[in-house]
Amino acid sequence: MRAFRYHSTAATGGPRLEEVPAPVPGDGEVLVRVHCASLNPVDWKIAAGKFRLLVKGGLPRTMGSDFAGEVVAVGAGADGFGPGDRVWGFIDPFKRTQGTFAELCPVPSDYLFALPDDLTYRDAAALACVGTTAVTLCDLTRTVSGSRVLVNGAAGGVGHVAVQVAKARGARVTAVASGAREEFVRALGADEFIDYRRSPVGEWPSGFDAVFDCVPNLPRRVQRRLIRSGGQYATTLPDALTFLLDPLTNAVGRVHRHGVMIGPSRRIMDELLEGFRSRQLHCHIEAEYPLERAAEAIARSRSGRVQGKLVVRVG
């Protein structure tokens, strides 16, 4: 089978398409024929050697985290799925060396969800990781009807879904992106818009119940100015301080800080499916690339300017 993988994290050891033996599902795993995957910045960050302390397993590594496809085979103890089932989900790119930019991918069964007929492989693969991240942002910040939320990075993969999930929960959303994206994020439901290139962060409104930092680039002093006392801040790129210090400072500080680490959750997938079915949620796909052109998708993602998501068509 074909897999887009790398043997080195050095700049010269970039990923390439290779013919590799078909994997066999281990205990608790389901082998999925991947139809579509999508690109997340974490995929090329790990391939570039970042997050060394968090990454388990060695080289080579196949890129790709989220997927949509069909079940080919089921390992021992992976109950609930059978050959031919339509499925979607993601793998943990820190723990797994066999990613989803491959025709076949072994997936732990708890990361696998039934894909209803009314959601295409393309849309499901685009939505899995960023959708889970968006719902987790809302959960961590206790975003509910009437919450005032600021979404920083509202035009990107995570941000554009987070705007919609927060709106679906009844929040009032202020979206931050570059001016050219105003029409796009307003069409997603954003109530107010800030062009970060024209409006310095010191001039942004304050009193938010929650800030979703999906860039992320808002310093602590800015968080304290933007968020009301007792309000919530969540970053999509937590660092050691977020895990070590914030649980302590959250007990006494006026702003509660959280870091998103996504995991598989049926409840979250159901909230995404419900949003999709009620037409309150869709995933914007900027472009689709065949597997053999995955390197172009990576270059585009590295630009930091993607609007919505990039899909990789695998088979």
Ligand X SMILES: NC(=O)c1ccc[n+]([C@@H]2O[C@H](COP(=O)([O-])OP(=O)(O)OC[C@H]3O[C@@H](n4cnc5c(N)ncnc54)[C@H](OP(=O)(O)O)[C@@H]3O)[C@@H](O)[C@H]2O)c1
* Unique residue bearing structure tokens 């009032």: 172
C-alpha separations of 97 from 3, 59, 62, 208, 269 in Å: 12, 7, 6, 40, 24
Residue partners of 142: CB distance under 8 A and separation at least 6: 210, 232
Query: What is the nearest approach in angstroms of ligand X to the Cβ of residue 302?
Result: 8
The residue behind tokens 């100015």 is 225
Beta carbon nearer to ligand X, 104 or 140:
140
CB of 48 to ligand X, least distance (A): 12
Q: Which residues contact 108 (CB under 8 A, 6 or more apart)?
A: 28, 29, 30, 91
- Residue 152 or 223 having the CB closest to ligand X: 152
Q: Which is nearer to ligand X, 147 or 235 (CB)?
A: 235
Phi, then psi, of 87 in degrees rounded to 5: -140, 160
- Determine if the peptide bond prior to 216 is cis (ω within 30°): yes
Q: Which is nearer to ligand X, 2 or 300 (CB)?
A: 300
Q: Which is nearer to ligand X, 42 or 287 (CB)?
A: 42
- Nearest-approach distance from CB 223 to ligand X, in angstroms: 15
- In angstroms, the Cα distances linking 162 to 145, 158, 190 are 14, 6, 10
The minimum distance between CB 22 and ligand X, in angstroms, equals: 29
* Rounded least distance, CB 39 to ligand X, Å: 8
Q: Could you list the residues that contact ligand X (CB under 6 A)?
A: 40-42, 129-130, 133, 152-153, 155-159, 176-178, 181, 196, 214-215, 217, 236-237, 260-262, 301, 304-307
> Shortest gap between Cβ of 82 and ligand X (angstroms)?
30
Task: Indicate the residue whose CB is closest to ligand X.
Answer: 156
Task: Please give the structure tokens belonging to residue 284.
Answer: 């914007």
CB of 239 to ligand X, least distance (A): 11
Question: Under a CB-based contact definition with an 8 Å cutoff, are residues 47 and 63 in contact?
Answer: yes
Q: Which two tokens stand for residue 201?
A: 């962060």
- Of 81 and 184, which has the nearer Cβ to ligand X? 184
The CB density around residue 232, as the number of other CB atoms within 10 Å, is: 24
Nearer to ligand X, 3 or 162 (CB): 162
Q: Give the three-class secondary structure for 305.
A: coil
